[in-house]
Structure 1
Amino acid sequence: MGDVEEVQNVAEGAPEVVTPAQDAAEQAPEVVTPTQQPDAVAALAEAIRTAGAAAPAAAAVDGQREQALRDTAEVLTAGGAPAEFAGAAVALLGDGAAAALREDPWAVLALPGVRPDQADGFARGLLGAEAGPGDPRRAQALVPWVLEQAALRGHSAMEIGEVAAGLEKLGLPDAAAALQEVVVDGRVMAFQEELPGHRPSDDEEDEPPMRTLLALERLALAEESLADGLVRVMSTFVPGTDDEAETSEAEASEGEASEAGASESDESGHPAQPGPAAWEAAAVAAPSSSATALVRAVAESAVVLHTGGEAARAEPAALLSAARGLGLRAWAVTWTAEGRDSLRAATDASEVAVLAELLAGAAGPGRAPDGSLALDLLIVLDAPLLDVELAATLLEALADGTRLVLSGDPGQLWSAGAGRFFADLLAAKVCPAVASRTPDFGPIGELVSGIGVGELQPVEAPDKEVVILTAKDGAEAVHRAVQLLTDSIPRALGIPAEQVVLLTPGHGGGAGTRALNAAAKARLNPGPGRFGGFDPGDRVVHSPAPGVVRLGRVLDGDAAGLHLELTDGSRLTLSPAQAAGLRHGWALTGHQAVGRRWPGVVAVLPEDAAAGLTRQWVYTAFGRAERHLSVVHAAGQALPQAVAERTAQPRTTRLRAILAEQAEQAY
């Protein structure tokens, strides 16, 4: 095929495996400075004694763990399971994992990747004929497993009837009894709530129809904590007054260090809040009408939602600049390092961090004495990507009365983890929402905007910003996509191959990431894969935790592991065990691409993905392109049908009902 072809129409598809996006960042341990001892000799002696005692203790702990691993591997082998699972079992069940598995073989179902049929086989290997389908231990393991599978699909809760149906499919004789038992022992929590969408009639006297939801304890508590955090921040918010601002300006004129319009610190050490006049001046000076509306909303409210496309990200950037000018301790956070760098360039400000790094203490303003973030305003971009557990962690880190702005595109894919925090908050209408009027420009922006409202229309692309190609099957789709990546786009448009990404709905199938990456490597960086399947120069994607994605390139490998250079310029060495989870990165799934954009994008839509295609996926994938979008599809009419009819895969959550209940109690 020669140069990139003309604009036509589009189509694509495929369900994507979604995993929980749990934040794996760890808080750094507190550093304690020892009190100086008057006698240096005594201090040295004490240090020697302490070191001498610690070494045997550490050796004892290591020896205990080694014995636990050997014992657990022995039990696993006896039941017919791989001994390699011993590490995961000890990490989950502790040093007594061997005894725990002998007592309850179905506990193995809690290990990552283990299926019920495999757990049943393991139980039969240990218990023989005693391992029946109605064993109470089996029921205790299956209920949480069913809910965990639902969480992988984004549900933070599940209707009890659906859970029971899932248990019956797994051959559990008495699902009702099993559900009652797990609720009683606290492993699963049950909730009653009104059926969504019910509209009572004027003459209705009875209670509204209710449904029973079941939720894993950790997810139930996260949604409760999230709702409590939102209410706490909003109820403790106190806007500034013009009197405060006038006092601050007077003090500044007497020599206090302050810029004009900035506010001084109050008795607690926090900056005094700017008054309405100062906020209004900042709003009038904002660069667009939408930015003005956002500044005004933040002036009056503790929590503000902001929605819009890629171009609308300029509005939170303007808010950050305005807040810093008013003397507030304001920071913005993004989902990825690429998003951080882009926002820093737009604001010319350093007060921008990656969300995970902010919460881990690796970046940001630091913590106040009470442990909260030392902030007056936090702006969170890419907010739809927050699952309920991460959102709860974020709210817990905010001090009372902190302003919080949650900004994002509601049309994009939701979090990889459970919940739909941003969408639920929009639907609950408990705080102001500012919808951007800034359109995404150009043919790509026009195409994506139409998809957002359910319309898939041809667009004029005089400079070949959008190109549509068809393929009869997955093999042809792979061939065309790799040709675009390696030849057509670099030659016709001047976009280097390293600035182009292939996006596809899933990993498997004829045109999934595996097939596309294999073909791209063969063309762009052929080699024997001498470092665990990778060669220097390979593009890779590293996922250290579910929902966390880092892109980079292989530099080299040695006894220490695989050395990578990430796209933000940092270096990373993966141990052989860590490198086992590495994937090639010329082709990504839609979820792996969120929070990032590339000059060139090739969206590949194989025929075997059509059934799982949604408007969300199309909108997200197509919107990753900055200058050029090529679409290679073999999904026929599945694409326009998905754009018009399938908005998103539904998720069952509780946050909206919790917020409604709290509002009802408040009034």
Structure 2
Amino acid sequence: MSTEPETTEEAEPGALGAAAEGDAPGAGDAPGAGDAPGAGDAPSTSVDTGGAAAEDGSPSAEGLAGGAGAGTEGAAGQRSEAEAELAAQRLERERIERRRAEKRGPISAGTGLSGTAADLLAAVRAVESGEKPVVTAFREPEPAPRGTVPEPARRPRPVSAPAAPPAAAVPAARTVEAVRAVLTGGGAPDGLAPQVVAALGEGADGQLREDPWQLLRVTGVRPEQADGFARALLGAECGPDDERRGRALTVWLLEQAALAGHTALDAPALAAALSQRAVPDPDAAVQSTLAEGEALVFQDALETTAPAAAPARDTAEEDDGEAEERPVRVLVGLERYALAEESLADGLARVMNSVPKDDGSAAEWEEAAASAGRSAAELIRTVAGHALVLHTGGDASRAETAALLGAAHGLGLRAWTATHTAGGHDLRASGPAPGDLPDGPEGGTDTTVVTLADLLSGAEGPGRDADGALDLDLLVVLDAPQLDVETAALLAESLPDGARLVLSGDPGVLWSAGPGRVFADLLAARVCPQVASRTPDPGPVGELVSGVGIGELNQVEAPGKEVVIVPVRDAGEAVHRTVQLVADSVPRAIGIPAEQTQVITPGHGGAVGTRALNTALKERLNPGPGRFGGFDPGDRIAYSPAPGRTMPGHVVKADADGLHLDCSGAPVVVPKERVEHSVRLGWALTAHQAVGLRWPAAVVVLPGDAAAALTRPWVYTAFGRAERHLSVVHGVEQALQRAVAEVPQKARTTRLPALLRAQVPTAG
């Protein structure tokens, strides 16, 4: 490894494990202290953690509905063609109705879902059936109308403004005013009134008077604040043993656990957390919550390993007739995540048990595998014989999935690839030869690679068949560790019978921002074949990242200054050296311009968080007054259309419609009212925001106060965002080496492995 490339200031040589002198404590807020919803940071795993929940980021239902009929525009002058098209559509609808009438009952796919996943599937089906979706189910900017005529370039599409609120806003306004009065009477900020109405609906004022702790359903409200509000309203009737308080705190703790990635909590852990909140009888509080239907309880059998030499049992004991019971764990969870996990297990079992479609003989698959590389050939042969396959590997392993995609197209399959972010669209950047990938209709770039969100919403992709399933034969999902349980459940429900599914990703990166750890659970359950890539990530950066993945922080040879360590003593020096690296040193010594260098830091707040770094980088690289919500044309931004998804880009302009962005070549218009919550400066990101994306150069900043928050997956993810050059601004002394060697991914409590083992008893 090298020290910093030539700079205007002399850099001390150092290794990643070397100590940096004089780290000042308090240099920045703890990671995750950032606040913007949708920023993509995974909250703390503590069930007692506060913090705002991310706002709903689902696509607008009106946008989906608008896309269904947009293709008729432009046909005003062609009467005969329009009439012919209408006639064809009528015939097709009649055929579909006849086919549905032949079935024994209505289509049940998706009935196990709830929440956003169920709303999204209902909206898609409503579009296909010609019905108008319910516009209040979604709050995300609607996608652009989708025409019936194929477009030469489908990805660049503007995001239109969200639908106007429903006409029945007058009673809502009265409800808001009534809630304001209740909030004022309890000493709570009246600005919370719209959020209270959104959470509780009509009659929210009466619900608050009857149960003041319902205020905890509002994002960001803490238990101590709800207690103060209840004391002001109830007076002497308020007490810590109030049954209403116990129920509200139980639900709040489960919601906080979901923010931390858990889909359920062990009953003892939940009881302990309630005790910490001064609930005198935690068990009674949980039972009351279950009785009211606000949570569900589960008993999952635990896997046991028989001892090597079990003592012989007395014959009399065996005659007692009491069978040995398997140990179980009692879990409590919110209904939406419990149903999503069960639906996911059912959907994956259906995929594994369905008969594959007639999509090529064994000889044809073998011929395709023989023409591919070693790891790619193994993947192709495995997919040929199985409906569900897990594929693990680093960024270089995308060449293998690209080869699989090319082989599938060669066999005539309708094969598609879904990525977590739009930045993952170009599989050619990962190494496969151009001939390994199918060309689009114009012979240009691949048009069968879309984001998973666009695939499921219908904004892009193959569309859906008459039964509401995705119209494809093979789906390869990249960045699989980023699948949360609700998205994965919707995906499994959307696959047709006989389709093949390949989940591909790097198991060493950070898990999803939403609840669940789907990819890790599937790997642990061993219910399907797993193919491990043997394609190493190239260069010194790849060697360093591979070592981090197995818990080793190695010295690597970097003759071209591919890896540079910059020791710093305090927060001010860390900011200064970061700006110097991005704006001067890396462009001059490495030849990578500032716009292709990404800064990654543990958190948003503090002296060396994303906010402080972005302010300093903007002042140096694109100074301006921030004429529109703090942004100027040319600013690098991070746009979060939904929680856990980040689209890097830059500001183009601002007008009455909102802030105009360019995100990976796709024009996006963010309405003014959404700019504050979904757009932030993007020269510096957190590792959670950067998952699924890579840049030619990355500058990873490790301030002294971030030492306690570092984990091996965080370091692995942050270092792995660099393709050619990695600079590490190092201020955590030996904490980096200790984190890589000793601090694994934070555990999440989920039910998926047990559900999968029940669905596929021969697993493992």
TM-score if structure 2 supplies the norm length?
0.76
**8 Å CA contact 1:7, 1:464 repeated in 2:** no
Q: CA deviation at 1:569?
A: 3.5
SS of corresponding position for 1:549 = strand
Structure 2 CA distance for aligned equivalents of residues 60 and 609 of structure 1: 49
Q: 1:609 aligns with which of 697, 706, 731?
A: 706
2:16 paired with 1:10: yes
Q: CA deviation at 1:124?
A: 2.2
Counterpart of 1:504, as a letter, is T
Q: What do the CA deviations read for 1:354-373 (whole angstroms, capped 9, x no partner)?
A: 10000000000000000000
Structure 2 CA distance for aligned equivalents of residues 544 and 568 of structure 1: 16
Structure 2 CA distance for aligned equivalents of residues 118 and 238 of structure 1: 56
2:71 paired with 1:65: no
Q: Where does residue 227 of structure 1 map in the other structure?
A: 345
Q: Where does residue 59 of structure 2 map in the other structure?
A: 25
Counterpart of 2:15, as a letter, is N
Q: 2:370 aligns with which of 266, 275, 284?
A: 284
1:656-667 → structure 2 map (5 Å cutoff):
656-664=753-761
**8 Å CA contact 1:443, 1:465 repeated in 2:** yes
SS of corresponding position for 2:397 = helix
Structure 2 CA distance for aligned equivalents of residues 60 and 315 of structure 1: 52
Alignment root-mean-square deviation, CA: 2.5
Structure 2 CA distance for aligned equivalents of residues 154 and 496 of structure 1: 37
Structure 2 CA distance for aligned equivalents of residues 274 and 160 of structure 1: 50
Structure 2 CA distance for aligned equivalents of residues 7 and 570 of structure 1: 44
Change (3 A) 1:109 1:479: same
Q: What do the CA deviations read for 1:233-254 (whole angstroms, capped 9, x no partner)?
A: 1111336xxxxxxxxxxxxxxx
Structure 1 CA distance for aligned equivalents of residues 508 and 370 of structure 2: 29
Counterpart of 1:160, as a letter, is A
Structure 2 CA distance for aligned equivalents of residues 87 and 172 of structure 1: 29
**8 Å CA contact 1:384, 1:413 repeated in 2:** yes
Structure 1 CA distance for aligned equivalents of residues 173 and 713 of structure 2: 48
**8 Å CA contact 1:334, 1:380 repeated in 2:** yes
Counterpart of 2:561, as a letter, is K
Q: CA deviation at 1:344?
A: 8.7
Q: Where does residue 498 of structure 1 map in the other structure?
A: 595
Q: CA deviation at 1:537?
A: 2.2
Counterpart of 1:152, as a letter, is L
Q: What do the CA deviations read for 1:123-151 (whole angstroms, capped 9, x no partner)?
A: 22322232222211111111011111111
Counterpart of 1:218, as a letter, is R
Change (3 A) 1:221 1:520: same
Q: What do the CA deviations read for 1:447-482 (whole angstroms, capped 9, x no partner)?
A: 001111111111111111100111112221111111
SS of corresponding position for 1:410 = coil
Q: 2:694 aligns with which of 569, 591, 597?
A: 597
**8 Å CA contact 2:517, 2:748 repeated in 1:** yes
Q: Where does residue 579 of structure 2 map in the other structure?
A: 482
Q: CA deviation at 1:106?
A: 1.1
Structure 2 CA distance for aligned equivalents of residues 23 and 439 of structure 1: 36
Q: Where does residue 130 of structure 1 map in the other structure?
A: 237
Q: What do the CA deviations read for 1:71-116 (whole angstroms, capped 9, x no partner)?
A: 2222222222222222222222222222222222111111111111
Q: 1:310 aligns with which of 395, 405, 409?
A: 395
Q: What do the CA deviations read for 1:250-297 (whole angstroms, capped 9, x no partner)?
A: xxxxxxxxxxxxxxxxxxxxxx321111111111112x1100000000
Change (3 A) 1:125 1:558: farther
Structure 2 CA distance for aligned equivalents of residues 237 and 611 of structure 1: 50
Q: 1:322 aligns with which of 407, 427, 432?
A: 407
Structure 1 CA distance for aligned equivalents of residues 379 and 14 of structure 2: 38
Q: CA deviation at 1:59?
A: 8.7
Structure 2 CA distance for aligned equivalents of residues 407 and 60 of structure 1: 45
Q: 1:439 aligns with which of 532, 536, 543?
A: 536
Q: What do the CA deviations read for 1:317-338 (whole angstroms, capped 9, x no partner)?
A: 1101110110111100101111
**8 Å CA contact 1:6, 1:464 repeated in 2:** no
Q: 1:637 aligns with which of 730, 734, 742?
A: 734
1:414-433 → structure 2 map (5 Å cutoff):
414-433=511-530
Q: CA deviation at 1:562?
A: 2.6
Q: Which segments of 5 or more consecutive residues in structure 2 lack a partner in the other structure?
A: 20-27, 33-40, 44-52, 73-82, 87-164, 314-322, 440-445
Q: What do the CA deviations read for 1:400-449 (whole angstroms, capped 9, x no partner)?
A: 22100000000111101111100110111110000000011100000001
2:291 paired with 1:184: yes
Structure 1 CA distance for aligned equivalents of residues 733 and 761 of structure 2: 48
1:466-615 → structure 2 map (5 Å cutoff):
466-615=563-712
Q: CA deviation at 1:155?
A: 1.2
Change (3 A) 1:26 1:289: farther
Change (3 A) 1:410 1:488: same
**8 Å CA contact 2:659, 2:675 repeated in 1:** no
Q: Where does residue 420 of structure 2 map in the other structure?
A: 335
SS of corresponding position for 2:514 = coil
2:173 paired with 1:170: no
Compare relative contact order (CA 8 Å, sep 6+) and give the higher one, 1 or 2: 2
Structure 2 CA distance for aligned equivalents of residues 573 and 611 of structure 1: 36
Structure 2 CA distance for aligned equivalents of residues 580 and 302 of structure 1: 40
Q: Where does residue 467 of structure 2 map in the other structure?
A: 370
Q: CA deviation at 1:197?
A: 6.3
Counterpart of 2:261, as a letter, is G
Q: 2:329 aligns with which of 197, 207, 211?
A: 211
SS of corresponding position for 1:29 = helix
2:115 paired with 1:91: no
Q: CA deviation at 1:9?
A: 1.9
**8 Å CA contact 1:337, 1:568 repeated in 2:** no
Q: 1:161 aligns with which of 268, 278, 283?
A: 268
Deviates more, 1:293-302 or 1:639-648: 639-648
Q: CA deviation at 1:581?
A: 4.5
**8 Å CA contact 1:150, 1:156 repeated in 2:** yes
Q: CA deviation at 1:508?
A: 1.8
**8 Å CA contact 1:23, 1:356 repeated in 2:** no
* Percent sequence identity over aligned pairs: 57
Structure 2 CA distance for aligned equivalents of residues 59 and 424 of structure 1: 41
SS of corresponding position for 1:444 = helix
SS of corresponding position for 1:187 = coil
SS of corresponding position for 1:544 = strand
Q: Where does residue 626 of structure 1 map in the other structure?
A: 723
Q: CA deviation at 1:666?
A: 9.6
Structure 2 CA distance for aligned equivalents of residues 59 and 666 of structure 1: 50
Q: Where does residue 253 of structure 2 map in the other structure?
A: 146
**8 Å CA contact 1:15, 1:611 repeated in 2:** no
2:360 paired with 1:274: yes
Q: CA deviation at 1:342?
A: 4.0
Q: What do the CA deviations read for 1:603-654 (whole angstroms, capped 9, x no partner)?
A: 0011111112111011110000011100011111111111111121111111
Change (3 A) 1:191 1:406: same
2:578 paired with 1:460: no
Q: CA deviation at 1:517?
A: 1.3
Q: CA deviation at 1:198?
A: 5.1
SS of corresponding position for 2:209 = helix
**8 Å CA contact 2:31, 2:604 repeated in 1:** no
Q: CA deviation at 1:341?
A: 3.1
Structure 2 CA distance for aligned equivalents of residues 357 and 449 of structure 1: 32
**8 Å CA contact 1:343, 1:352 repeated in 2:** no
2:356 paired with 1:238: yes
